[in-house]
Structure 1
Amino acid sequence: MEVRKDFISVEAEIYKAILLSKSLQELDSNWSHDKNNEDMHLIYGYDPNEYRKIEVLYSYGRSMARSLAYDLYSVNYADKHGTLYSWVQKIENDWVDQVQSYEKIISNALDAQSKTRRFNCVIQMVQTLQDQIKILESVLILIAILKTKDLYLLEERVINKTMSAVSKNSNTIESDEYDVFISHASEDKGTFVETFCEHLSAENIKFWYDSNEIGWGESLVRKINQGLSKSKYSIIVLSKSFVDKKWTNKELEAVLNIETNTGDVRVLPLMLGNSDEIKSILDQYPLLSTKRYLKVSDGISAIVENLKKVLSK
C-alpha cells in the first residue's frame, strides 16, 4: 500500500504501522474460539465468576485485534486523520495505558482455568493475546519515535499555537523539554541516582526523573513516553538491578530505536558496578558494547563534566 504523500517524510514509520496492522488482522482471523468451540461450551458448567474471566479473554482480546488494527491502518486516510499529530494523539490516548490491562485479563483467565480444568482454547487465546501485546508494545515504541520527527514537532507547535514563540529564537528550547532522561532501576535510587540528580540540579541541567515527573494516579507509560520524546539524551544507569527490570528495558529499547531511526546519538550509558558486573551487563546488551560508557566509580563530578561537554555540542 502506498503511503500518503503528506506523510512521505515519515514513510518508513507509517509503513511499519500498516505492517503491524496486517499482523493484527492475521491474529484476528486465528482467534481460537472459532476453531475450538468444542472446549468453550464446557466452561458454562462452572462457577459464573470463573467462566466470565474466560469470556472476557475472548471478547476483549479479539476486540483489541480488530480495534488496534483499524487504528493503525487508518493513519493512511487523510479524511480520518488530517495530521500526523492527530493520529499519534489518538493512538496514545487510546492505547498507551492498555498493556497492563490485557496482562491482567490473561492472568485472570489462567486463574479461572486453574480452578476449573485445562481448556485448549484458553491456552491458545492466551498465546494470541500475548502476541498482540507484543505488537502493541512495538506500536508504543513507534509512537515515541514519531514524536521526535520534524513533521510531528511542527504540527504540534502549530496546533498548540507556539510557532510564533519558537520562531523568535529557533535555538530556544521549549520550557517543557529536558536535557536528559534518567533511566534507572528503583533499587539504584538511594545508592546513586538521587545524589546524581542533586548535582544535575546544581548545574542547572534539565532532567526527567520519574520521582519528580510522575504524580499520584498518573499513567507511568504516558509520562515516560513524554519524557523520552522531549529529552535530548537518555542517561541509562545500567546495573544488575536494571537488567532484570521490564520497564527499564522497555525504556532502553525505545531510546535505541529512536537513535537508530534518527541517526542521532541519544543513549549515554553509565555503568554501576564492579568490572565483573559491568562485563556481565555488556553481555546482556551487545548493542551498547560499541559505545563509550562512563562508570559511576569515575565520580559524579567527572560524569557531570562529561555531560556538560555533550550538551554544549
Structure 2
Amino acid sequence: MFFYLIFLWRLDKNERESFKNVFRHFLWGAFGAVILGVIFSFFFTSTIQMFITNENILAFTGAVFIAPVVEETTKGIYLLRTSQKNYFDNITDGLVYGGAIGLGFGMTENLMYFIQYDETFIQWATLVFTRSVFSAVMHAIATATFGAFLAKAKFTNSGKKYVYPVIGLILAMSFHFIWNLTLSLEFTYLVGIIFMIFLIVSFLIIFNLSIKEEEKLISNELFEELNLMGFVSGENKIGNIFQRRIIFFENKIKNKQFLNFATKLAFRKFQARNSSGKQQEIYLSEIEIQRENIKKLIEKKS
C-alpha cells in the first residue's frame, strides 16, 4: 500500500502536496475511517438482524449494501474537512487526498481479511493477490472520486456546488457496490476483475487529463502576469510560458523556486475568481504574496 501511496503522490506534477498531509489522510483511512466503519456497520447489521435471520442473506446484505454506504461515508467525512482547507486547491488534490484515504482503509481491511482467513494456502494467496491488487485500489478510486467532486464544488459559484458532492458520493458507493456484488456471486468474479481494470485505466486517464487542464489554467493565468511583472522584454519572446516543469526567465534560466511561486500564483488567481467572502480575501492576499516572492527572486537573479 505504501508503494501505491508514493505512486499516487508523485502523479501530481504541478503543485505536489506535502507528503505529510497526504500521509495524514492515509492514516485516517487506516484507523479513523475503519473504526467508524466498524461501529456503524455493527449498528446497521444489528438492526437488520431483527428482520433477516438467514445468515447467508445477512452476510450478502452487509457486504453489498451496508458496506458501500457506511465505508464511503466514513472515508469521506475527513475529506469534507479537508476540502475547506486552503491547501485543497483543485481536482487533482481531491484525487490525491481521497486516494490516500482509500489506500489506508484498504490496507487495514486487507490485514483483517488476511489474518482471519483459514482456508488452504492457495486460496489465501489468491485472496491476498485479489485484495492487494484490486480491493484496496477500489477503495482508493472510490474515495478519490468523491474528493474530485468536492474540489469541483469548492470552486463552483452556481447552485451546482451543492449537487457535486452528492454525485461524487453516489459514484463512490456505486463503484464499491459493483465490486462487492461481483465478489459475492461466484459466477461474476471475472466481471469484477474486468470492471476494476476498466476503473483503474479510467482513473489514470482522468488524473492525466486533470494535470493537463491544470497546465492550461496555469498558462492562461500567467499570461496576463508577463507584462505586469516584467517577465518578457520587447525584444525577447517566450513561446511556451508553462511546460510541465519549466518556466523561463528572460535569460532562460530554469528555476524550480520560480516555478513553485508562479504555479501557486496561477492557482490562487483562479481560486480568487471562483470564491467569495473571507475565502476570496485569503486568496487575494496570497496572490500578492506570490507576486512579491517572484519579484524578489527576479531581482536576486538580475
Query: TM-score range, shorter-chain basis?
Result: under 0.3
Q: Larger % of helix: which?
A: 2
What is the TM-score normalised by the length of structure 1? 0.27
Q: Which has the higher contact order (CA 8 A, sep 6+)?
A: 2
